[in-house]
Structure 1
Amino acid sequence: MASSSSKLVCFALALAAATVLVAPCAAQNSPQDYLDPHNAVRSDVGVDPVSWDDTLAEYAQSYAAQRQGDCAFVHSGGSYGENLFCGSAGADWSASDAVGSWVDEKQYYDHDSNSCSAPEGKSCLKYFPVVTMTPRYNQKSMAFSSWKLACIGLAFAAALVAPCAAQNSAQNSAQDFVNLHNAAREAVGLGQVHWDDNVAAYAQSYAAQRQGDCTLMHSTNRPYGENIYMGPAGKAWSAADAVGLWVEEKQYYDHATNSCSAPVDKSCGHYTQIVWRDSTAIGCARVDCSNGGVFIICSYNPPGNVIGQSPY
């Protein structure tokens, strides 16, 4: 496992190299699990298969993160074709549930007349993008959508966004990250941090970028302070693992002299960011990477670790 923290501009960064998935759930919500049902339906009507696109997946991940707080069934208004799915609490909704509900609309669509006989409350518009052939979807002409789909799923039943959050929220929820930070801050007499959805959206967006490689690399041109963590394949690393590792650096930090005695492969920067008095808003994200590892990021506003200043 490894982690790294950010400093402000002109501060030398010492790199130690932002939904909630576990291995049993990834098997039901992997990119291939989204591709297979799409391509099965397309094959049935003689349409070429779609392929996975990391750029589209990143867009889907970012928007799903925005909806994580309210699960509102609202389209993103972006430039891609888009299907949404919202599953109510109480079930581990999966890729097959989402795509299956879209494909169910096939029964209402008549290809010969290019018409839809869906009853009130139903439509054919989710089925159309699944079997798209042309570059852009037009609702008025009932033409088809884009070659590659941004399958945005809500209620954690979507493209790479916490399909099993119900099982893991107790270990990786916003409150878990907040509580862990506040425990460390309270130990040195500091006020609490609170969760900020805008900061969390940034963390989630960057975590999505790291999902393909799990590289312990900071985001560039970031407006926030930043701690990052990478856990190797084989364990469902949690918020407690990441924040716990960062807080362990407390042993190397001397507040009286505002100095750090960490060995070469360690630092104090993750800990000092957590206890930076003025960093009062946080947002964190956790993703399972394609290599089986876990990437976790926490962002901080305002950023801490200003060179020459004491955290508190």
Structure 2
Amino acid sequence: MRFSTGLTFAAALLGVDACAEHSKQPSRHHTHSVGASSSAAASPVTTLTLAPSSKAVTSLAVTTSLAAATTFSTQTKSVKTISSSTSSAAAATSTTASSSGLTDDQQNALDAQNSARSDVGSAALVWDADLAAEAQTWAEHLVSVGDLVHSDVSNEGENLYMGYDSNPFVNAANLWIDEKSSYSGEVISETNYMTFGHYTQIVWSSTTNVGMGSATDSNGAVYVVARYSPPGNMIGEAAY
């Protein structure tokens, strides 16, 4: 996630972690990895690293204006947004395309996020081809560096994920949405977003568009990147 304070913060956490940014700037969520471990790389400016706590089943990396990553025993999740990917084109592993032009996996991921938004009264997100193309490019970059790190884009929210599965888009979306149990509608601050930042970016009321991309490395690890516009997780505001 990103903060708008001019400083860059990075946090690598185990378990369900999320990030948020400062005043009116998007925060981004970090990456989740399954069956593989990823290290968090902080953005250049200033880096604050939180020692990860050892939680067995899931690990989540959260970044604020910086890049952070975490490892899952089976899945890795990364979110970058505060205002909180498979190697080939943004297509999911699923090869069947829907009437919307999306693969089944992409459509299911979009539907899952819109269902979560509907539950809290937020309007449905629209799939954005430009955001998907940007997400695809970054997913391919993650494969090249072999790590879950956030981009330095400041006007979009970003969630990251890494896992070994056949439906990476919807699995990533569902993993992020699982953070719902940690959020009770509170205002986002610099310190409280670590457990729900991925979820709050998904349901952020003023976010209207989403695009996702994925890329797969030589070992079969799938990196998923989701980009959101306008970004969510603004410090001093609630998600809905």
TM-score, normalised relative to structure 2: 0.58
Within a 5 Å distance, the mapping from 1:1-312 to structure 2 comes to 6-10=1-5, 12-16=9-13, 160-161=88-89, 166=95, 170-173=103-106, 175-231=107-163, 233=164, 235-255=165-185, 257-258=186-187, 267-312=195-240
Q: Distance in 2 between matches of 1:201 and 1:16?
A: 28
Counterpart code for 2:216: D
Q: Distance in 2 between matches of 1:282 and 1:298?
A: 7
Query: 1:207–1:297: 8 Å Cα contact kept in structure 2?
Result: yes
Greater gyration radius: 1
Query: Gaps (5+ residues) in structure 1?
Result: 1-5, 18-158
TM-score, normalised relative to structure 1: 0.45
CA RMSD of aligned residues (A): 3.0
Q: How many pairs does the alignment contain?
A: 160
Query: Gaps (5+ residues) in structure 2?
Result: 15-86
Cα deviation for residue 9 of structure 1 reads 2.8
Cα deviation for residue 236 of structure 1 reads 2.5
Query: 2:93–2:166: 8 Å Cα contact kept in structure 1?
Result: no
Task: Assess, with a 3 A threshold, how the Cα gap between structure 1 residues 310 and 14 changes in structure 2: closer, same or farther.
Answer: farther
Counterpart code for 1:258: V
Query: 2:204–2:239: 8 Å Cα contact kept in structure 1?
Result: yes
Cα deviation for residue 181 of structure 1 reads 1.0
Counterpart code for 1:269: G
1:298 aligned counterpart, secondary structure: strand
1:279 aligned counterpart, secondary structure: coil
| Identical positions, percent | 32
Task: Assess, with a 3 A threshold, how the Cα gap between structure 1 residues 180 and 221 changes in structure 2: closer, same or farther.
Answer: same
More strand by percentage: 2
Task: Assess, with a 3 A threshold, how the Cα gap between structure 1 residues 194 and 305 changes in structure 2: closer, same or farther.
Answer: same
More helix by percentage: 1
1:290 aligned counterpart, secondary structure: coil
Cα deviation for residue 208 of structure 1 reads 1.2
Query: 1:213–1:290: 8 Å Cα contact kept in structure 2?
Result: no
Task: Assess, with a 3 A threshold, how the Cα gap between structure 1 residues 240 and 165 changes in structure 2: closer, same or farther.
Answer: closer
Q: Which runs of 4+ in 1 moved over 2 A?
A: 6-17, 159-173, 257-260
